[in-house]
């Protein structure tokens, strides 16, 4: 047992680069981290990591629920016929590989997984795509046919899919030592381990530098929203911040946050197998919240808006069994939106548009000045404080016009021209 634990400890001590004596570029091993749903950026990153390396071995460390881009076909071809030895390892547990990510195992000539990881649901290759189970079976005839529609927990090798079961990437790499693999017609013997004395006992350690490779910061930032729950959260957050900017009349910070959130959500929705009718339910539900906020109460529109939000979040994508929407993050987002519109927005608006020394009822009959155009809502200034206001007599009120307060409803003043 000690013999297997030593490589793990050595890898953990220096995850960016582990160099054995005499190791060099010709012995380097690149571990390419392929985590999360595989959008086009991640697929291209993995392909570039294989095509552009001078390493002796490339290991794709996979933990991916689904593939979101058709470019996976080119990556499968590259893994099947790479310029350098390429291995695919699913782990650490409980990592998953579905769809095209699981097919990477079948395409590779060196394939492994950690016990306790899950592989399967090979079809469709791209989440939300058509049923291509027959094409997958024809391409990988050695893979058990049942795995096109099912998945299994790895505990032992699976014909055509997993040859080596190793609990860690370190043990997987060291265990490949001496393996012969053909690379474009040329047999290559892998040299991945060397014996070494550790605490006075013999152990195997990586023969060369082990470099962990991950996508750049920009790609990692964009990929935050390639999960449906995150895309939904950013969508709701973006709309809520824009509404806050409109009603709180602040310096523009909320608008900037809202625009950034909407841009992040747009990327996620663009690459996910989005049900656009469901995505439209989120702003529709928030609009109903705004209606009740205008009325300064909670009623049927709020209940209907909550229902639309929950429905839209849970039905946001068509990910099938490969990538189902997780319900509890959606529920938290909906609850957060309800609390924001029901309580937080009202409190913020009141603090922005009211004066603590003036009772609202006292304002009836007071004179003020319009600070915006009315249509029929706007902003007025009364006794030095700004308020949201509405005119109900279809009057043409513009900036600078004198107004008189004729009523107060919560934090909204009823005004008219004198």
Find the mean pLDDT for residues 194-216: 82
Q: Rounded distance, CA 82 to CA 74, Å?
A: 11
The pLDDT of residue 250 is above 80: no
- Look at residue 407 in the predicted model and tell me its pLDDT: 87
Q: Are 82 and 108 a contacting pair, CB within 8 Å?
A: no
**Residue 296 — very low, low, confident or very high, per pLDDT cuts 50/70/90?**
low
Closest alpha carbon to 126 in 135, 113, 114: 135
Find the mean pLDDT for residues 8-26: 38
> Domains of the chain: which residue ranges?
2-215, 219-353, 361-416
- Look at residue 353 in the predicted model and tell me its pLDDT: 53
Closest alpha carbon to 205 in 14, 49, 34, 53: 14
- Look at residue 337 in the predicted model and tell me its pLDDT: 92
- Look at residue 108 in the predicted model and tell me its pLDDT: 97
The pLDDT of residue 3 is above 50: no
The pLDDT of residue 346 is above 80: no
Q: Are 193 and 177 a contacting pair, CB within 8 Å?
A: yes
Q: Are 246 and 59 a contacting pair, CB within 8 Å?
A: no
The pLDDT of residue 218 is above 70: yes
Q: Which DSSP string corresponds to 215-235?
A: --HHHHHHGGGSSHHHHHHHH
- Look at residue 26 in the predicted model and tell me its pLDDT: 53
Tokens linked to 343: 């309580």
Q: Name the fold adopted by 2-215.
A: 2-enoyl-CoA Hydratase; Chain A, domain 1 (3.90.226)
Residues 6+ apart with CB under 8 A from 108: 60, 79, 80, 86, 87, 88
Better-scored residue on pLDDT, 113 or 194: 113
Find the mean pLDDT for residues 330-340: 93
- Look at residue 355 in the predicted model and tell me its pLDDT: 46
Positive or negative: CA dihedral 229, 235, 238, 242 = negative
**Residue 45 — very low, low, confident or very high, per pLDDT cuts 50/70/90?**
very high
Tokens linked to 27: 């012995």
**Residue 347 — very low, low, confident or very high, per pLDDT cuts 50/70/90?**
low
- Look at residue 20 in the predicted model and tell me its pLDDT: 34
Which SS3 state, helix, strand or coil, does residue 367 take? strand
pLDDT digits (tens, 9 = 90+) for 141-162: 999 999 999 999 999 999 999 9
- Look at residue 13 in the predicted model and tell me its pLDDT: 37
Q: What are phi and psi of 112, to 5 degrees?
A: -150, 175
* Class of domain 361-416 as given by CATH: mainly beta
């Amino acid at each position: 047992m000690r013999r297997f634990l030593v490589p793990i400890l050595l890898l953990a001590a220096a995850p960016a680069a582990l160099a054995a004596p005499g190791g060099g570029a010709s012995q380097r091993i690149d571990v390419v981290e392929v985590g999360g749903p595989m959008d086009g950026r991640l697929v291209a990153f993995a392909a570039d990591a294989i095509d552009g390396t001078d390493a002796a071995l490339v290991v794709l460390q996979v933990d991916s629920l689904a593939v979101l881009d058709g470019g996976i076909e080119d990556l499968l071809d590259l893994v099947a016929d790479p310029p350098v030895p390429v291995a695919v390892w699913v782990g650490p547990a409980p990592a998953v590989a579905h769809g095209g990510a699981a097919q990477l195992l079948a395409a590779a000539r060196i394939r492994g997984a950690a016990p306790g990881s899950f592989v399967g649901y090979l079809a469709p290759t791209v989440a939300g795509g058509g049923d291509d189970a027959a094409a997958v079976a024809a391409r990988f005839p050695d893979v058990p046919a049942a795995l096109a529609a099912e998945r299994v927990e790895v505990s032992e090798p699976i014909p055509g899919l997993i040859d080596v079961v190793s609990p860690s990437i370190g043990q997987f790499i060291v265990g490949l030592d001496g393996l012969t693999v053909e690379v474009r017609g040329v047999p290559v013997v892998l040299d991945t381990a060397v014996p070494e004395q550790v605490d006075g006992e013999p152990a195997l350690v990586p023969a060369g530098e082990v470099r962990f490779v991950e996508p750049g910061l920009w790609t990692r930032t964009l990929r935050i929203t390639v999960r449906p729950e995150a895309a939904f959260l950013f969508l709701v957050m973006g709309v809520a911040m824009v509404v806050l900017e409109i009603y709180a009349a602040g310096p523009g910070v909320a608008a900037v946050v809202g625009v950034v959130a909407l841009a992040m959500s747009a990327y996620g929705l663009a690459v996910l197998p989005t049900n656009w009718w469901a995505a439209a339910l989120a702003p529709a539900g928030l609009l109903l919240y705004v209606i009740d906020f205008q009325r300064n109460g909670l009623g049927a529109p709020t209940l209907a808006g909550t229902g639309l939000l929950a429905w839209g979040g849970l039905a946001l994508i068509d990910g099938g069994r490969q990538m189902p929407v997780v319900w509890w993050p959606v529920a938290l987002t909906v609850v957060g939106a309800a609390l924001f519109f029901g309580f937080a927005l009202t409190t913020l608006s009141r603090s922005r548009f009211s004066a603590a020394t003036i009772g609202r009822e006292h304002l009836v009959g007071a004179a003020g000045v319009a600070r915006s155009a009315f249509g029929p809502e706007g902003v007025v200034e009364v006794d030095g404080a700004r308020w949201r206001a509405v005119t109900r007599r279809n009057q043409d009120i513009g900036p600078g016009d004198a107004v008189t307060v004729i009523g107060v409803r919560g934090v909204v003043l009823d005004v008219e021209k004198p």
